[in-house]
Amino acid sequence: MKIYTKTGDQGKTSFYGGTRVSKDDFRIEVLGSIDELNSVIGVTLCFIENEKLRELLSKIQNDLFTVGSDMASSHMPDYNLPKIQQQHIKDLEEHIDHIAEVLAPQTSFILPGGTIASSFLHLCCSITRRTERVLVKASNDHLVNPSVLCYVNRLSDLLFVLARRANNELEVKEQQPIYKYFNGVNTHE
């Protein structure tokens, strides 16, 4: 079987069940953002040595395929395909709470960066937030499982605290933004 089918040459693609939609449909944009996020998590895994974190990120990669399945069958809500459930969200919340226990309270914005792992986790978080914005747009015109919206929102929170923890584990200090021209005062010279 060849990788190319030529069925998308006219700017359309198929959802599960054969429904044809334009490639600029917001649901397709969501699926593309999910693919991008999953790929960047794959790159991030190249820089993660902590086995528990590797397992968690691998689980998230699998969950993202469930998000994709949920989105690709959103026009068929009664169809029996994998869907994001409340337990997916609860799992993320438990991880967030566990990680937050060991981090100092965040009192200001922080700059993305620090360790390589933290930098990639911040990038994953940013892609997740963009995915969420596109998902909200898609939900304005199409049926979207509300659990998908919650899952993606919690996922951005989890990736953010994971980025903070990656710096914390190696004692890399979080950097705060410098507002150079704020009220004419530079407080970080």
- Is the residue at 177 inside a domain? no
Range of the domain at 136: 21-172
How many domains are contained in the chain?
1
Q: Which of 3, 2, 27 is nearest to 14 (CA)?
A: 27
Residue 189 lies in a domain: no
Higher pLDDT, 186 or 2: 2
Q: How far apart are CA 151 and CA 174, in angstroms?
A: 27
On whether the CB atoms of residues 120 and 43 are closer than 8 A, the answer is: yes
The overall pTM is greater than 0.85: yes
**CATH code of the domain in which 105 resides:** 1.20.1200.10
Q: What pLDDT digit, counting tens, does each position of 84-130 carry?
A: 999 999 999 999 999 999 988 888 888 899 999 999 999 999 999 99
Note the pLDDT tens digit of each residue in 55-91. Answer: 999 999 999 999 998 888 766 666 677 889 999 999 9
In a domain, 153, yes or no: yes
Domain assignment present for 92: yes
Contact (Cβ atoms closer than 8 angstroms) between residue 56 and residue 117: no
Q: Which of 78, 77, 103 is nearest to 157 (CA)?
A: 103
29 belongs to a structural domain: yes
